[in-house]
Each structure stands twice: as C-alpha cells, then as structure tokens.
C-alpha cells in the first residue's frame, strides 16, 4: 500500500466513524505490544500497531529471547552429544560453527514471525511499518521505509517500543570485531576466543553458547558475583560449572580501554590487566527505545537509560498514553511484558482497577545448564526475619536424570517452618525453566493448598524430573523438629 493510499484511508475512517483514526495505536509488536493489541481488538476496539522493522515480533523475536535460546538449544545438544559415550565414540569431538547453529535459529525466527503476523491478520489489527514519533498526545507521525511521512490519530496510545543494547560512546561498535547482543547474530567469522563484557543474563547465556562451540571465553563481571539477584547457592553452582568448563570469570572489573585490531580486540581493564581475543561481545545493560519518539512534544521525559515512568495502571504522565515492556525497565522479561500489555489494555477498557503482575515472577536463565527461580531467596527471608527451612534434591539421585545423563543440578524448596507455606523455588540444571513452574503452580494456591506437604501427598509420574519435588519436600520436612 502506498503512502498516499494510507493517508486516503485514514481520512475516510476519520470522517465516517469518530474524530480519531483508531481507538488505540500501539507502538511496537514485541510481547508487550502484542499483549495490549490482542486484548483491545478482542474487546471490539479499532486497533493499529506501528512496527519500525519490516517484520513483526520486536527485539524479542529477532535479536533477543528467541535467537539466543535457539542458539543455546543447538549448542546444548552438541555438548550433550560430545559428553555421551553412547554416541561419541571417536577421539575427535563433534564440532559446529556459529554459522551452523544460526541456520536453526533463522528457521525458528521465521516460524515465530509467521505465527505472530497471523495473530494480527486474523484479528483485523492494521500494521504500519515505519518509525513513529509524537506530534501531540493523540497524533503520531510515521516515517515509512520509502521516506514518506504519514499521520495517524488515536484516542489512546501504548508505547511498547522495547529496548536495545547499551552502547557507551568510547566503544567503537563500527569495528568488525566488536559486537553487542543484537549484532552478534551477524557474526560471519569463526572465533577461537571471545571477550564478553558484562556478566548479566545475556552475558552468561552467550558465555555458555561460545564455550559450547569450543571458544576460549573471558567473562568480565563488573560486580563481585554472578547474577546476584538469584539464589546464592544456584549462582555458586553456575560459577563452578563455568569454571569447570573452562570459562574464565573476572569479577569486580571494569574496562579502561578497548582497541580494535585487524584480527581482533584488545581490552585493558582498570586493574591493569590486558587481554586479547578474536572478538568482543559488549553486553553490559540495555537502553529504552525512546530517543526517536519526540517525547518533548508530550512534555514527558525518559530517564538516563531511556526508560519511562508509569503508575500501577501503566499510564505515563500523559493521561491517554500508556507504556509497557522493556521500555519501562524492570523486570524486562518477555513473559512479564505480555502480561503488562494485557493488564494495561484492561485498564483502558475500564474492566480492571486492581490488575497487576503476579508478585512472584519466575526467572529463567538459559545458560548451560539452565537456572531458574520463583519467590524469595534465603538472603531475602533472612533479612525479613522469616523463619524458614530448606528442602533439597540433587538431580544425580533421580532415575530420570540418570537415564538422560543430566545428573548436574539440584532443586531447592524454601518453606515456612511453622505454616509450611512454600516461599521460594530455586533450580539449577537441565530443564530448570520448566521444572520451576511445578512449584510456582502450588505457590499460587491459597491456604493449606500451598504447603510443602503437597509434594509428599501427591503422586508423580515415575521416572520424571518432577520427582525432585517429592525428594526435596521429604528432605525439608525431615529437618523440622
């Protein structure tokens, strides 16, 4: 459709229905935008979405969650194959290149785009491709790929523009050996070594991926421990596993200078250490995609990392403009973003006045092995002086883990000493992000249904990884007196 025909269509809509072209316009088609758009259109609202890129799905589908997890899956299968004597009987281990595993990733992205585009088509949500910016609180300008400018109006607008990797000005991201978590997917050469700066979720996941491909990995952590927001025992397990696999972790370090060479990168740390690698992945934080929205036309300001402030209804300082997903910061999870969009839509439809995210949002870290948790950590419970006990199950004692040669890992259940209420679930090992949801489901129950005794009374399939809950429950209850 040409720019001219778009403008004609908008004029016809305006004169034949309301003063606005749409009831709601959503900026961005990632999980947050999709959650809002689908909820609104199913309620009978006339909805349009604006997507900057040529395909729907946002950063989650094209550069973030989906690609990294697809890459991780391929590498995990390679590691599993090489460590299983049943299959790998030769002296030489099987190998894959980054280009090899990208082929599977590209297929997954394509399947996801086709699926998500179908949602918009079936629900009659109009998609405009282009870069959106505000003219006023009801009017958006869209710069289309052919360079023309369109204008659309709406009674309400949802900002779900997502985030992008943080890029400090003193790092040359135009150098062919310097990458961020978006551009790493364009890696063409076959690195034998890599420096990963930033040991957050993204940094740790890519450390697993590149080490699984046989790369020498230096993981630079600006803090004193890995993933300090997670349970300490689980992160200690990950640190040990990284060390055991050959990943070098350098805690409490910051870069002083990054120099690109013809065939690699040299990093000098403030501590004086210098290291060289074939390439650098800079993965130290993210920035909200708000700089091109012309928020000054709304008298709205983003913070230093480009994030927008919202109230409990996901409403910004402007009464008809909402924001959801990574663009509002914490918790910056695809799962939470979708729910934020859905809940914001409920507020716009006036069918909710107390809707909010669940208190205990599960976290999944897709390293090799995985790590996942929901609820409180021991540190948090101790700080709040809540009496708790711990039930543990080691995967190496489970028949299913022995059968699947996935004995690395454990499950930990935290529960109240007196009421036996489940307070937290923490898991390290293969399939942790799936296993944790069993405990989450029980945690969401009320009263006596939410106790560790549930796992003793119920019957699990055997052999399964779910059996870890029964083992951990018995272990914990045996500690009480």
Tokens read off for 317 = 């300082």
Beta strands, E only, 278-398: 279-282, 286-288, 321-323, 363-365, 371-375, 388-394
Q: Is the pLDDT of residue 3 over 70?
A: no
Beta strands, E only, 246-303: 248-250, 255-260, 265-269, 274-277, 279-282, 286-288
Average pLDDT, the chain: 93
Q: Which residues pair with 226 in a beta bridge?
A: none
How would you class 299 by CB atoms within 10 Å of its CB: exposed for 0-12, middle for 13-18, buried for 19 or more? exposed
The CA-based angle 15-16-19, given to 5 degrees, is 50
Q: Rounded distance, CA 152 to CA 363, Å? A: 38
Bond into 331 cis (ω within 30): yes
pLDDT of residue 83: 86
pLDDT of residue 17: 45
Q: Rounded distance, CA 139 to CA 144, Å? A: 16
CB 195 within 8 A of CB 207: no
Tokens read off for 51 = 């997507």
Q: Rounded distance, CA 203 to CA 195, Å? A: 10
Q: Rounded distance, CA 135 to CA 390, Å? A: 56
CB 311 within 8 A of CB 297: no
The count of C-alpha atoms lying within 13 angstroms of the C-alpha of 266, restricted to the half-sphere facing its C-beta, is 7
Tokens read off for 103 = 């082929």
CB 100 within 8 A of CB 217: no
Share of the chain above pLDDT 70, in %: 95
CB 325 within 8 A of CB 307: no
210-246 pLDDT, tens digit per residue, is 999 999 999 999 999 999 999 999 999 999 999 999 9
Domains and CATH numbers, the chain: 3-62+102-163+287-348 (3.50.50.60), 178-284 (3.50.50.60), 369-477 (3.30.390.30)
Bond into 192 cis (ω within 30): no
Q: Rounded distance, CA 324 to CA 187, Å? A: 31
Q: Rounded distance, CA 342 to CA 310, Å? A: 15
CA distances from 295 to 52, 302, 320 (A): 17, 8, 14
| Strand duo 321-323 + 149-159: pairing | parallel
To which residue do tokens 């450390």 refer? 207
Q: Rounded distance, CA 74 to CA 96, Å? A: 9
Q: Is the pLDDT of residue 384 over 50?
A: yes
70-103 pLDDT, tens digit per residue, is 999 999 999 999 888 777 777 788 899 999 999 9
| Residue 18: pLDDT band with limits 50, 70, 90 | low
CA dihedral (217, 218, 220, 225) positive or negative: positive
Taking the model in full, what pTM does it have? 0.92
181-209 pLDDT, tens digit per residue, is 999 999 999 999 999 999 999 999 999 99
CA distances from 123 to 38, 126, 140, 400, 414 (A): 7, 9, 22, 43, 43
Bond into 151 cis (ω within 30): no
| Residue 419: pLDDT band with limits 50, 70, 90 | very high
Q: Of 13-27, 141-155, 359-373, 409-423, where does mean pLDDT reach its minimum? A: 13-27
Q: Rounded distance, CA 61 to CA 417, Å? A: 43
Q: Is 253 helix (H, G, I), strand (E, B) or coil?
A: coil
Within 10 angstroms of residue 317's Cβ, the number of other Cβ atoms is: 14
Phi then psi for residue 401, to 5 deg, are -65, -40
Beta strands, E only, 263-419: 265-269, 274-277, 279-282, 286-288, 321-323, 363-365, 371-375, 388-394, 409-416
């Amino acid at each position: 459709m040409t720019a001219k025909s778009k403008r004609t269509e908008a004029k016809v809509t305006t004169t034949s229905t309301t003063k606005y072209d749409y009831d709601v316009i959503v900026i961005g088609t990632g999980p947050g935008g999709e959650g809002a758009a689908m909820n609104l259109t199913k309620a009978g609202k006339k909805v349009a979405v604006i997507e900057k890129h040529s395909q729907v799905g946002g950063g989650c589908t094209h550069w973030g969650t989906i690609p990294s997890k697809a890459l991780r899956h391929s590498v995990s299968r390679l590691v599993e194959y090489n460590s299983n004597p049943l299959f790998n009987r030769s002296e030489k281990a099987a190998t894959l290149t980054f280009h090899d595993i990208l082929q599977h990733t590209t297929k997954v992205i394509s399947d996801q785009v086709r699926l998500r585009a179908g949602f918009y088509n079936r629900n009659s949500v109009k998609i405009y491709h282009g870069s959106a910016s505000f003219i006023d609180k009801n009017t958006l300008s869209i710069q289309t790929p052919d360079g023309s400018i369109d204008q659309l109006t709406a009674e309400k607008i949802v900002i779900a523009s997502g985030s992008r990797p943080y890029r400090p000005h003193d790092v040359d991201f135009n150098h062919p050996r310097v990458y961020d978590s978006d551009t790493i997917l364009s890696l063409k050469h076959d690195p034998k070594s890599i420096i990963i700066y930033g040991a957050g979720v993204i940094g740790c996941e890519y450390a697993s991926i590149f080490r699984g491909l046989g790369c020498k990995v230096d993981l630079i952590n600006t803090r004193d421990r890995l993933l300090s927001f997670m349970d300490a025992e689980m992160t200690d397990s990950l640190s040990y596993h990284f060390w055991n696999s050959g990943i070098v972790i350098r805690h409490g370090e910051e870069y002083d200078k990054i120099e690109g060479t013809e065939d690699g990168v040299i990093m000098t740390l403030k501590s004086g250490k210098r290291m060289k690698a074939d390439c650098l992945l800079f993965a130290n934080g993210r920035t909200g995609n708000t700089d091109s929205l012309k928020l000054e036309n709304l008298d709205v300001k983003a913070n230093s990392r480009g994030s927008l402030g919202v109230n409990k209804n996901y409403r910004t300082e402007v009464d008809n403009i909402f924001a959801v997903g990574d663009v509002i910061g914490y918790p910056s999870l695809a799962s939470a973003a979708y729910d934020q969009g859905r809940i914001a839509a409920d507020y716009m439809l006036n069918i909710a006045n107390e809707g909010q995210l669940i208190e205990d949002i599960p976290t999944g870290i897709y390293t090799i092995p995985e790590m996942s948790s929901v609820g409180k950590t021991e540190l948090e419970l101790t700080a709040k002086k809540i009496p708790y006990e711990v039930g543990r199950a080691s995967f190496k004692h489970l028949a299913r883990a022995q059968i699947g040669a996935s004995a690395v890992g454990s499950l930990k259940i935290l529960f109240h000493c007196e009421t036996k209420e489940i307070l937290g679930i923490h898991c390290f090992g293969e399939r942790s992000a799936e296993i944790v949801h069993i405990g989450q489901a029980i945690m969401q129950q009320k009263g006596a249904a939410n106790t560790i005794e549930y796992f003793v009374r119920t019957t699990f399939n055997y052999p399964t990884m779910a059996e870890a809950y029964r083992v951990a429950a018995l272990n914990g209850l045996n500690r009480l007196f």
